[in-house]
Structure 1
Amino acid sequence: MSDSSITLQAGNGIAVLTLNRPDKRNAFTDTMRDEFIAALENVSADQSVRALVLTGAGKGFCAGGDIAGMEKRMNAPAGEVAFNGWARQQIVHKAQMLLHTMPKPVIAAVNGAASGLGADTAIACDFVMASDHASFAWSYIHRGIVADGGGLYFLPRRTGLARAKELIFSGRTVELDEALNLGIADRKTSSETLLDDAIAWATELSRGSSVALALSKSILNQTYELSSEHVFAQGSQAQGICYTSTQHRESVMDFLAKAAARKAQR
């Protein structure tokens, strides 16, 4: 495994991004977050990559924010704490929104505990595949802070508002079977096959037109906030773009050629 706190590998159209601080259960440092953002921007821009799988090295997916970093922020001069915190939050939000808005499927392959920012990072992805060792905890309340990695937005959309409140207010741990029942995780698999299964699912999800997929995802991400009229309007605009895409043209021409060949054989 590389010495970097983030590793990125790609093959056959699927990128695998690994949080790589196993001795710290992959807790985020500020430097690690910068690397994470750079890797996500790389994947988003790389047209040869059709989908992303995000996982953690070692026994944990991600333990959240690094406690040493929290101590450092608390020890800043009183007049700088608030602005430093605000500036840091902009970076956290950038990372989470890169996951959420990436124009290709993103699967979190949760190999162990996902706590705090780790849990938020998992559900900022499009889909969550969990191993038999996975668990989730929105444990921010135990540190006297709020769910700043998107949990206040993403969790109610997966579990419903009342259940999201209960999980965030209590900070309790959600084990795998309950996570599946609540909609926090979408699929489960064994620890031994987690990464292979996630890559296979990513391959399945990304076989279609990358243009149509990116446009569909951008609209679906907003569907709870928009009126039906706005969704239809955005869909119409997206369809106009699809009509001009090489993928649409090649698909139609291929269908017509196969239909003509079948007709000629009769």
Structure 2
Amino acid sequence: MAYQEILFERKGSIAVLTLNRPDIRNALTDEGIIGEIEDACQVVQRDFSFSVLVLTGAGPAFSAGGNIKDMERKGGMFSGNPSEIRENYRRGIQRIPLALHRLDVPTIAAVNGPAIGAGCDLSCMCDIRIASDKARFGETFASLGLIPGDGGAFFLPRIVGFSKACELAFTCRIIDAHEALRIGLVTEVTPHEKLLERCMEIASEIARQPSATLRMTKRLFHFAQGKTLEETLELSASFQALCHHTPEHRTALEAFISRQNQNRRKE
């Protein structure tokens, strides 16, 4: 698929997906960008040589969320009667959280600027969020008389806790990168000019681990969110049994034993 709305690059085993509509602040509600994000996720999911996906935005914004001009003129996915708009959401922007949630490789959001509304939720769909010191976050749907229609009610409380998520959604307050770090919305804040470099460093650390193991680890962590301890232990035993029979496990064991033997000889 030839992409027009995003950039998609391979850097070794790391995939970099850049929202490439800076003219509309990387709004997410156009069918073109939705389809391309979904397709890129499927490419990464199918190709086991990928270990990590980094998601960022071109220009000064990460993503401003929905296209306000389309809302005002009731165009695009905001057109039609309530039943039609419901289907527009289900067949449109809601494909993005599903595509990212189904993606087994670890994902990193490199939040380069404002992440507002659906843009904030998009960052929350990733496993790790690293923020530029120019990043801003806002769960601002209520200020437009809307609710988070793209999965924000699922993702945000799981990251910052129920009460804090409610406060952000009810007040529509915009927070800066340092407050986002304090409440656990992001794991790190970096100088703006070093954001992508830092995210690639983290992605490279992750990519050093076996791809199959990374995929199972991520899936286990996601499954465990809604399971009891007994269910999680059962699933863990099943995944671990598979891991014990991978060539990567054998290679790692041999390397570990070799290092131990070398250390003993030095003693």
TM-score normalised over the length of structure 1: 0.91
- Partners of 1:179 and 1:258 in 2: CA distance: 41
Structure 2 partner of 1:4: 4
Shift of 1:90: 4.1
Q: How has the CA–CA distance of structure 1 residues 34 and 256 changed in structure 2, closer, same or farther, with 3 Å as cutoff? A: same
Alignment of 1:1-266 (within 5 A): 4-28=4-28, 29-70=30-71, 71-72=74-75, 73-76=77-80, 78=81, 81-259=82-260
CA deviations 1:183-228 (Å, max 9, x no partner) are 1111010111111110111111221122222111112113231110
Shift of 1:112: 0.4
CA deviations 1:79-104 (Å, max 9, x no partner) are xx414422432443332132233222
Query: Are the counterparts in 2 of residues 100 and 126 from structure 1 also a CA contact under 8 Å?
Result: no
Q: How has the CA–CA distance of structure 1 residues 185 and 239 changed in structure 2, closer, same or farther, with 3 Å as cutoff? A: same
Shift of 1:142: 2.0
Shift of 1:257: 4.2
Query: Are the counterparts in 2 of residues 107 and 198 from structure 1 also a CA contact under 8 Å?
Result: yes
Amino acid at match of 1:246: P
Between stretches 205-214 and 8-17, larger displacement belongs to: 205-214
Query: Are the counterparts in 2 of residues 105 and 206 from structure 1 also a CA contact under 8 Å?
Result: no
- Alignment length (residue pairs): 262
SS of equivalent residue, structure 1 residue 201:
helix
Shift of 1:36: 1.0
Shift of 1:42: 1.0
Amino acid at match of 2:221: L
Shift of 1:141: 0.9
Q: How has the CA–CA distance of structure 1 residues 241 and 204 changed in structure 2, closer, same or farther, with 3 Å as cutoff? A: same
SS of equivalent residue, structure 1 residue 195:
helix
Query: Are the counterparts in 2 of residues 209 and 247 from structure 1 also a CA contact under 8 Å?
Result: yes
Q: How has the CA–CA distance of structure 1 residues 235 and 131 changed in structure 2, closer, same or farther, with 3 Å as cutoff? A: same
TM-score normalised over the length of structure 2: 0.91
Q: How has the CA–CA distance of structure 1 residues 184 and 258 changed in structure 2, closer, same or farther, with 3 Å as cutoff? A: closer
- Partners of 1:246 and 1:91 in 2: CA distance: 40
Shift of 1:263: 6.0
CA deviations 1:13-35 (Å, max 9, x no partner) are 11110001101110021211011
Between stretches 134-143 and 232-241, larger displacement belongs to: 134-143
Amino acid at match of 2:7: T
SS of equivalent residue, structure 2 residue 17:
strand
Query: Are the counterparts in 1 of residues 3 and 36 from structure 2 also a CA contact under 8 Å?
Result: no
Gaps of 5+ in 1: none
- Partners of 1:5 and 1:229 in 2: CA distance: 44
Between stretches 123-132 and 45-54, larger displacement belongs to: 45-54
SS of equivalent residue, structure 1 residue 192:
helix
Query: Are the counterparts in 1 of residues 55 and 109 from structure 2 also a CA contact under 8 Å?
Result: yes
Q: How has the CA–CA distance of structure 1 residues 260 and 159 changed in structure 2, closer, same or farther, with 3 Å as cutoff? A: closer
- Partners of 1:241 and 1:40 in 2: CA distance: 24
Shift of 1:264: 7.0
SS of equivalent residue, structure 1 residue 96:
helix
Q: Cα RMSD over matched residues?
A: 2.1
Query: Are the counterparts in 2 of residues 137 and 167 from structure 1 also a CA contact under 8 Å?
Result: yes
- Partners of 1:24 and 1:91 in 2: CA distance: 18
Gaps of 5+ in 2: none
Query: Are the counterparts in 2 of residues 104 and 206 from structure 1 also a CA contact under 8 Å?
Result: no
